[in-house]
Structure 1
Amino acid sequence: MHRALDTNNLRDALKFSAQMLSELRTSKLSPHKYYELYMRAFDELRKLEIFLKEKTHRGCSIVELYEIVQHAGNILPRLYLLCTVGSVYIRSKEAPAKDVLKDVVEMCHGIQHPVRGLFLRSYRSQTSRDKLPDIGSEYEGDADTAVDAVEFVLQNLTEMNKLWVRMQHQVNRED
């Protein structure tokens, strides 16, 4: 991925990012070890996000990028990439923040594994925390923006809570 970023090769950067993110599909790691893997992926995704921001400033269509990543082979890498590109998409202001956030929230329902789902939703929160469509923010939209921001945060917390409960039940069954 780094070589692709260094050579300004968007397609390869996305391909290798998806391959890297495929490592997060494992069920063989404890939550602690999964966290370590997630943090490494998180650091790499931040580099990808910076690269994508630069590409869009040089004329690359963010809408095309958003559509390209939707074709990643596996759902988990696809959703991480969508969150990353979605962050750049919101920042570009080519679409209302609430629409992009709503799209990503809906797609994240595809991950129901407790550990993978929790980390994905955590990543979604991290990438959107400074881009919520709140009153007075640069991403403020229509009159319901404060409600939209609160609904996004509450929906994410509710989903995470459900996954925590499911993970707790799985641990109790294994004991």
Structure 2
Amino acid sequence: MQSSIADGVPSTEEQEKWLADALALVQHHAFYMHRALDNNNLRDALKFSAQMLAELRTSKLSPQKYYELYMKTFDELRMLEVFFREETKRGCTNAYLYELVQHAGNILPRLYLLCTVGSVYIKSKDAPAKEVLKDLVEMCRGIQHPIRGLFLRSYLSQISKDKLPDAASEFEGEGGTVVDAVEFVIQNFTEMNKLWVRMQHQAVL
């Protein structure tokens, strides 16, 4: 006998509980991440930030509830980005950081960390913006779950919007051209559109 449609739809109370549990774990891991940041402990900062970001792997939350979880981790990633910039001032190269975060255990935390370091990498101009952006937009294809993929690409858009090699941008020239900037935006948008269609098809909305 088939279950009714309602049987497969989580209640509001269930959604609230799942979200509360996830937010509590994000806060827990963020606490230890902050401690590592204060101690300039790069390894622990990466470990606890990856554990924090692992909460975004959930498939239990609706897009609306997932957004709340995403915004909490987004705020924490801002702090991590500042830490990465400070690490480069202490002698750690952007290339090393970019390589190091790719060893994070799970692909979703790895890509969030990679985008965060990538933002610092582009800002430093140690590598051409077009090359880093091309790398990031391609690697984000590793997430094909519609909700997780959409929010990841939204994050990529957020961290890159002021770092495109656009006309009159500080990154134009050695960092790329307007054509490179347009190609990046279109490619990321195209991938987001595919995920959006998939989400509607799966009736996630």
TM-score tier by shorter-chain length is: over 0.9
Which of these residues, 129, 134, 138, is aligned with residue 161 of structure 2? 129
The aligned residue for residue 41 of structure 1 is 73
Task: Kindly state the Cα deviation for residue 26 of structure 1 after the two structures are TM-superposed.
Answer: 0.5
Q: Unaligned 5+ residue runs, structure 1?
A: none
The aligned residue for residue 170 of structure 1 is 202
Does residue 80 of the first structure (1) align with residue 116 of the second (2)?
no
Query: Which amino acid letter does the alignment assign opposite residue 30 of structure 1?
Result: S
Task: Kindly state the Cα deviation for residue 141 of structure 1 after the two structures are TM-superposed.
Answer: 2.6
The aligned residue for residue 155 of structure 1 is 187
Task: Kindly state the Cα deviation for residue 58 of structure 1 after the two structures are TM-superposed.
Answer: 2.1
Q: Where does structure 1 differ by over 2 angstroms across 4 or more consecutive aligned residues?
A: 141-144
Which of these residues, 118, 141, 159, is aligned with residue 109 of structure 1? 141
Task: Kindly state the Cα deviation for residue 144 of structure 1 after the two structures are TM-superposed.
Answer: 6.0
Whole-Å separation in 1 of the counterparts to 2:95 and 2:181:
22
Whole-Å separation in 1 of the counterparts to 2:174 and 2:43:
35
- Structure 1 pair 55/144, CA: closer, same or farther in 2 (3 Å)? closer
Which structure is larger by alpha-carbon Rg, 1 or 2? 2
* 1:120-166 deviation line (CA, Å, top 9, x unaligned): 00000000000001121111135961000011111111111111110
Whole-Å separation in 2 of the counterparts to 1:42 and 1:22:
13
Whole-Å separation in 1 of the counterparts to 2:176 and 2:68:
38
Whole-Å separation in 2 of the counterparts to 1:165 and 1:30:
16
Query: Which amino acid letter does the alignment assign opposite residue 191 of structure 2?
Result: E
Which of these residues, 50, 55, 59, is aligned with residue 91 of structure 2? 59
Whole-Å separation in 1 of the counterparts to 2:112 and 2:174:
28
- Please say if residues 128 and 175 of structure 2, whose CA atoms lie closer than 8 Å, have aligned partners that are also in contact: no
SS at match of 1:171: coil
SS at match of 1:70: helix
Whole-Å separation in 2 of the counterparts to 1:120 and 1:7:
29
- Please say if residues 129 and 176 of structure 2, whose CA atoms lie closer than 8 Å, have aligned partners that are also in contact: no
TM-score by length of 1: 0.95
SS at match of 1:91: helix
- Aligned residue pairs total 173
Pairwise CA RMSD:
1.5
Identical columns (%): 79
Whole-Å separation in 2 of the counterparts to 1:134 and 1:59:
30
TM-score by length of 2: 0.82
Q: Unaligned 5+ residue runs, structure 2?
A: 1-32
